[in-house]
Amino acid sequence: MLKWALIFFVISIVAGFFGFSGVSAATATIARVLFGIALVIFLIFLVLALLAGQAIL
């Protein structure tokens, strides 16, 4: 149990550092761009899977 407490303590310290410094604004922009790219790739693969499914049927 002490191991998990220490792990969550370290995670909270790192999150606090990112939250109270200016790093979070830059990482939020990067995360938003990566989310958009992942969403587009997901939609492309979804359409390809549906088209492949129709070709099999």
Query: What is the per-residue pLDDT for 57?
Result: 64
Alpha helices, DSSP H, located in 1-57: 2-20, 23-56
Q: Which sequence spans correspond to the domains of the chain?
A: 2-56
For the cut 70, the answer to whether the pLDDT of residue 51 exceeds it is yes
The predicted-structure confidence for 2-36, as pLDDT tens digits, reads as follows 888 889 989 998 888 877 777 777 778 888 999 99
Query: What is the per-residue pLDDT for 42?
Result: 94
Query: What is the per-residue pLDDT for 34?
Result: 92
17 Cβ neighbours under 8 A, 6+ residues apart: 23
